[in-house]
Amino acid sequence: MINKFLFIAFAGFTGGIALRSFFDFGSTFIYFLVFLAVIFFLLEALSIRSRRSFAMAGIFIFALALGIIRFDIGDISPPLGEYVDTQIVLEGAVVREPDIRETHTKLTVRADAILPDKQIQKKINVLLVVDQYPEFQYGDVVRVSGTLDEPENFAGENSDRVFDYVGYLKKDNVFYQMFYPEVEKVGVGGGNIFAQKLFLIKNRLLKSVSLALPEPHASLVGGVVFGAKQSLGEELLEAFRAVGIIHIVVLSGYNVTIVAEWIGRLASFAPRGIALGLSVFGIVGFALMTGAGATVVRASIMALLVLLARATGRLYAITTALLIAGVAMLVHNPKILIFDASFQLSFLATVGLIYLAPHMQGIFSFVPKKFGLREFATATIATQIFVLPLLLYMTGQFSVVAVIVNILILAFIPLTMLFGFLTGVFGIVHIILSLPFAYIAYALLSYELTVVDIFSRLPFASVSVPSFPVWVMVIVYIFYGLALLWLVKKKPVSL
């Protein structure tokens, strides 16, 4: 019964956040919900033959109100409206790792003051699009001179759906943007000192890799191993999208899970508890090494849940843990529910790995277990099934060859990550020491890039879906949920 109440509370809380993400009914609506919840609790208390239905309704409505309240707390009003479309000089610190693209760099700057005399009390960020040089680092204090603009939503390239770019930026408290302003570094130490050290280590590893490997191999290692945002070039990125393998370019929950499983296999000779501990240590260490950004932390939490599910086999315990983890992430930042695709995809992929993949082991009994091929096949298809409706809604693009390409490539990703990481580590000491690892990493990366190139050239590799509305996506996920309930009741999951 506790799990049922927890699930209802989770549904109500997320429902409240989702509702408030689109509509603002004001504080009166919240008072009404709380009043309605109290009525249901009283009805439950006064019921002679209670079936808990009134209590469950009260919990759902009260959690709905809490979700709305939590969103309201973080929904600040941007204080610089009077400066929009005007030339200003602001001062602040770079509070996120620079996002290096093919032709430019994106800097997220916390606006502390409008010079000469206006101090900004609210924590708001401004997105700067600047040239790649001079380079700036996390924590740099900068003085920026340019025109302040408000971001606008835009239509996607492959569909008519309008991307809520404004909401996407607001989840990180970014309310304004400036294109190619004058930026001058005036100080350091504007960020968290721990994060600065992590990014420093990460950047040294990336530079070491770039010296030992050519492009695009070095950038691919940067994305797969270190979560670097350096561009691979639009043409190559489009090829990765067409074959459904774009998730390996950026650090995702799957990449983090690979790290844990690889460590677990190396420690398979040890007792189960020690192997699990080493895997957990590997996930935490990997997250710290890559900078411990919000996306990496969420991916790491999801990977830990998958690891715990497989280690314990306790479905009800892992369901409770998954719900608690989801709520904790939403309490920290409620805007990620609707406006952060990485959170949505990580959560759905985790659900697929925990609940669907075990049921598919029998279906793929013809796939050999050697080299983990059967596990990769079931994990790949399970995650693809669960993320596909969301991807169709967001991008309008369906990769026909995604399953085949994922199976061909993912089996080699653990070794790619290992030798890519070792290339960076030994390259810091001396480039000659890194060469043996770089040669192996180069061979693996060349194979993966060749597979992507061959399949992306097929005329049927990717199909454009002209219309996949949100109501269709919701219906599909409702069907998924009902199907999983039926599967679990018919045959309990063996993790």
Q: How many CB atoms lie within 10 A of CB 440?
A: 17
Helix (H) or strand (E) holding 99: strand 99-100
pLDDT of residue 449: 92
> In the structure, what pLDDT confidence band is assigned to residue 493 with cuts at 50, 70 and 90?
low
pLDDT > 70 in the chain, percent: 84
Q: Helices 253-266 and 294-312 sit at what angle, rounded to 10 degrees?
A: 50
Max CA pair span of the chain: 80
Q: How many CB atoms lie within 10 A of CB 166?
A: 15
Using the Cα atoms of residue 237, residue 243, residue 247 and residue 249 in order, give the sign of their dihedral. negative
What span, in angstroms and rounded, lies between the C-alpha atoms of 125 and 329? 21
Query: Per residue in 476-489, pLDDT tens?
Result: 998 988 888 887 77
Burial class of residue 99 (count of CB atoms within 10 Å of its CB; 0-12, 13-18, 19+): middle
Mean predicted confidence (pLDDT) in 93-122: 85
List of residues 6+ apart from 16 with CB closer than 8 A: 63, 64, 65, 66, 67, 68, 69, 70, 71
Tokens of 325: 């983890």
Residue type, 391: L
Residue closest to 172 by CA, chosen among 325, 339, 342: 339
> In the structure, what pLDDT confidence band is assigned to residue 309 with cuts at 50, 70 and 90?
low
Query: Per residue in 130-163, pLDDT tens?
Result: 998 888 988 899 999 999 998 888 776 555 667 7
Residue closest to 319 by CA, chosen among 341, 351, 292: 351
Mean predicted confidence (pLDDT) in 331-353: 83
> In the structure, what pLDDT confidence band is assigned to residue 67 with cuts at 50, 70 and 90?
very high
Burial class of residue 455 (count of CB atoms within 10 Å of its CB; 0-12, 13-18, 19+): buried
- Mean pLDDT (the chain, rounded): 81
- pLDDT for 456 beyond 60: yes
pLDDT of residue 257: 61
List of residues 6+ apart from 377 with CB closer than 8 A: 364, 367, 407
- Strand pairing class (162-163; 154-155): antiparallel
What span, in angstroms and rounded, lies between the C-alpha atoms of 356 and 378? 9
Query: Per residue in 281-306, pLDDT tens?
Result: 777 777 776 666 666 777 777 777 76
Q: How many CB atoms lie within 10 A of CB 73?
A: 9
pLDDT of residue 159: 54
Domain ranges in the chain are 2-74, 81-190, 204-490
Mean predicted confidence (pLDDT) in 344-354: 80
pLDDT of residue 1: 47
User: For the residues of 178-201, what is the DSSP string, one character each?
Assistant: EES-EEEEEES--S-HHHHHHHHH
Q: Is the Cβ–Cβ distance between 196 and 138 less than 8 Å? A: yes
Look at the domain 81-190 and name its fold: OB fold (Dihydrolipoamide Acetyltransferase, E2P) (2.40.50)
Mean predicted confidence (pLDDT) in 7-21: 91
Highest mean pLDDT among 103-117, 157-171, 314-328, 430-444: 430-444
Residue closest to 477 by CA, chosen among 356, 324, 348, 358: 348
> In the structure, what pLDDT confidence band is assigned to residue 65 with cuts at 50, 70 and 90?
very high
Query: Per residue in 410-449, pLDDT tens?
Result: 778 878 888 988 899 899 988 899 999 999 999 999 999 9
